[in-house]
């Protein structure tokens, strides 16, 4: 436990600690800083008197500047405006184009199915749909399945499409005859 | 309801457009506020930035001012928030920077203003008492400075720093106990510890 009189004595204000602290040097803000603060206050006052906009000092958060700029009588109006905006936003979400889009969802599912039924790999235009690594994996799979002719053909197409694509030695064995 | 203090009346006048009231408020509070910030962050450049920041916020939020409590609690609440923002930013950028506890910092990279050697240099330029204030953990240092520089009570310090009264009281008590020890060598010169950093001077 703390000695009971330590803090009490200090809080009375005449402790040796307080006396010593008050004897210490008391630095004050430099004159240039004084000028900056007073100038900032004056500029804020002029702005407020001029067009009732908030002071534009960079140290003040934007929200604070906005709040301080509005006269108190405008607060109910601002509140009403924000409520109206919120309601409009909710209505737009519920009844707006988004809902129409939702009606359109069913045909989209059909389109997806149609894509799924398209012929898969090993077509002339399969390059466009396959990344090189995927393409190489397909070739390796063909090779493993013993479909060497198809694999050779795919490898030729692959080399035509990606002539500089590096094929690492380990993979190379899997795709070559 | 408590009667309005003079500063609160000035602030209300300033809120209502009397620019001279700001000058009066500023001249009353600039010294204590500057020292509070300087001794909190222990760097003159940072203190100057925060000083300007505090007054900017006061000016920006003047329209919402209501004299519910002593003006000093309003002003130092802003100052406390600015200081905490600074320490938080410093700790985010450099995790060891704002670690102001007694534990030694493990991370060597800290912002220039809060590097241990810069703080030590700051402390070296002070008297033994101010060096001891500088060495206090941040919360204890703040409680002490708020009481000494502004005369805030423990309840008001608690309000400014957003902690319970018992916490504020405990912080101040620890600060006083540590600082009183720093006064002992002055009373007993033979017991004055050798300060290693300037022992050769």
Task: Tell me the CATH number at B182.
Answer: 1.20.140.160
A128 plus A105 within the same structural domain: no
- Asked if the Cβ–Cβ distance from A10 to B176 is below 8 Å, we say yes
- Residue A14 domain flag: no
Test mutation, B22, B38, B176, chain A, max A CBs within 10 A:
B176
Cβ contacts of A97 within 8 Å, gap of 6 or more = none
A152: tokens are: 């050779």
| Residue B58 domain-assigned (yes or no) | yes
Which domain does A135 fall in, by range? 122-175
Say how far apart CA B89 and CA B85 lie, in whole Å: 6
Residue B53 lies in a domain: yes
Judge whether B14 lies within some domain: yes
The model's pLDDT over A64-110, given as tens digits with 9 standing for 90+, comes to 444 444 555 667 777 888 888 888 888 877 776 555 455 455 555 54
pLDDT of residue B142: 97
What's the domain count of chain B?
A: 1
Q: Are residues A129 and A101 in the same domain?
A: no
Instruction: Give the CA angle between residues B190, B195, B197 to the nearest 5°.
Output: 160
Instruction: Name which of A10, A28, A48 is nearest B34 (Cβ-Cβ).
Output: A28
pLDDT tens for each residue of chain B, 201 residues long: 567 889 999 999 999 999 999 999 999 999 999 999 999 999 999 999 999 999 999 999 999 999 888 999 999 999 999 999 999 988 776 665 555 554 444 444 456 666 777 676 666 666 888 989 999 999 999 999 999 999 999 999 999 999 999 999 999 999 999 999 887 655 444 444 433 333 333
What pLDDT score was predicted for residue A36?
Answer: 92
Nearest to A41 among B22, B173, B180 (CB): B22
Cβ contacts of A135 within 8 Å, gap of 6 or more: A126, A127, A154, A158, A161, A162
Q: Are residues A110 and A154 in the same domain?
A: no
Q: Report the percentage of chain A scoring pLDDT > 70.
A: 58
- Cβ-based neighbours of B171, under 8 Å, separated by 6 or more: B139, B140, B142, B143, B163
Rounded-to-integer distance, Cα B52 and Cα A36, Å: 8
Q: How many residues does chain A have?
A: 177
Residue A164 in any domain: the answer is: yes
Helix (H) or strand (E) holding B39: helix B19-41
Q: Would you say residue B195 lies in a domain?
A: no
Distance from the B196 Cα atom to the nearest Cα atom in chain A, whole angstroms:
22
Interfacial B residues in 8-47 facing A (CB < 8 Å): 17, 19, 22-23, 26, 30-31, 34-35, 38
How much is the pLDDT for A164? 64
Residue A171 lies in a domain: yes
A24 touches chain B (CB under 8 A): yes
What's the pLDDT at A33? Answer: 94
**Is the distance from CB of B128 to CB of B117 less than 8 angstroms?**
no
Residues A129 and A159 in one domain: yes
CB distance B75 to B29 below 8 Å: yes
pTM value is: 0.58
DSSP, res B196: G
A128 plus A170 within the same structural domain: yes
What's the rounded Cα separation, in Å, for the pair A84 and A72? 20
- Contacts of residue B151, Cβ cutoff 8 Å, sequence gap at least 6: B72
Token couple for A27: 């630095």
Say whether both A126 and A106 belong to one domain.
Answer: no
Give the pLDDT confidence score for residue A91 in this predicted structure: 81
Q: In whole angstroms, what is the distance from residue A42 CA to residue B4 CA?
A: 25
Q: Tell me which DSSP letter residue B91 carries.
A: H
Contact A27 B34 (CB under 8 A): yes
Q: Measure the N-to-C terminal CA separation of chain A; round to a whole number of Å.
A: 86
A157 in any annotated domain: yes
Residue range(s) defining the domain that contains residue B124? 6-187
For chain A, residues with pLDDT lower than 70 are: 1-5, 50-74, 96-130, 164, 166-171, 177
Contact B177/A6, CB-based, under 8 Å? Answer: yes
How many domains does chain A fold into?
A: 2
Give helix B6-15 / helix B19-41 axis angle, nearest 10°.
120
Burial class (CB in 10 A: 0-12, 13-18, 19+), A43: middle
User: Could you tell me if A46 lies within 8 Å of chain B, comparing CB atoms?
Assistant: no
Tell me, yes or no, whether B199 lies in a domain: no
Cβ of B59 within 8 Å of Cβ of A38? The answer is: no
* Domain-embedded: residue B108: yes
B63 → chain A, closest CA residue: A68
Residues counted in chain B: 201
- Please enumerate in sequence order all residues whose Cβ is within 8 A of that of B2, keeping only pairs 6 or more positions apart, or say none: B69
H-state helical runs in chain B: 6-15, 19-41, 44-60, 71-93, 116-124, 128-135, 138-150, 154-161, 165-187
How many angstroms away from the CA of B19 is the closest CA of chain A? 7
DSSP-derived secondary structure letter, B4: P
**Given an 8 Å threshold on Cβ–Cβ distance, is B52 in contact with A59?**
yes
């Amino acid at each position: 436990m703390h000695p009971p009189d330590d803090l009490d004595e200090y809080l009375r204000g005449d402790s040796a600690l307080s006396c010593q602290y008050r004897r210490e040097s008391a630095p004050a803000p430099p004159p240039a800083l004084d000028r900056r603060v007073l100038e900032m206050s004056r500029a804020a006052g002029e702005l407020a008197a001029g067009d009732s906009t908030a002071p534009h000092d960079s140290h003040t958060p934007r929200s604070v500047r906005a709040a301080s700029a509005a006269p108190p009588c405008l607060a109910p109006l601002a509140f009403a405006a924000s409520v109206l905006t919120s309601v409009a936003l909710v209505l737009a979400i519920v009844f707006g184009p988004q809902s129409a889009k939702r009606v359109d969802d069913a045909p989209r599912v059909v389109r997806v199915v149609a894509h799924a039924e398209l012929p898969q790999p090993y077509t002339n235009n399969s390059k466009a749909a396959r990344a090189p690594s995927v393409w190489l994996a397909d070739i390796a799979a063909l090779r493993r399945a013993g479909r060497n002719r198809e694999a050779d053909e795919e490898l030729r197409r692959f080399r035509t499409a990606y002539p500089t694509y590096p094929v690492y030695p380990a993979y190379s064995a899997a795709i070559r005859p | 309801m408590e009667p309005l203090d003079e500063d609160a009346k000035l602030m209300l006048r300033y809120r209502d457009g009397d620019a001279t009231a700001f000058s009066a408020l500023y001249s009353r509070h600039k010294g204590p506020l500057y020292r509070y910030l300087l001794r909190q962050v222990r760097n003159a450049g940072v203190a100057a930035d925060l000083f300007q920041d505090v007054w900017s916020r006061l000016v920006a939020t003047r329209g919402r001012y209501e004299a519910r409590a002593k003006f000093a609690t309003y002003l130092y609440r802003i100052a406390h928030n600015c200081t905490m923002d600074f320490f938080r930013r410093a700790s985010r950028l450099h995790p060891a920077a704002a670690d102001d506890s007694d534990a030694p910092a493990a991370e060597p990279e800290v912002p220039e203003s809060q590097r241990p050697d810069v703080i030590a240099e700051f402390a070296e330029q002070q008297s033994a008492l101010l060096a001891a204030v500088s060495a206090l953990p941040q919360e204890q240092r703040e409680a002490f400075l708020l009481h000494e520089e502004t005369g805030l009570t423990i309840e008001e310090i608690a309000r400014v720093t957003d902690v319970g009264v018992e916490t504020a009281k405990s912080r101040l008590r620890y600060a006083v106990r540590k600082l009183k020890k720093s006064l002992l060598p002055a009373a007993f010169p033979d017991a004055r510890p050798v300060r290693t950093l300037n022992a050769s001077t």
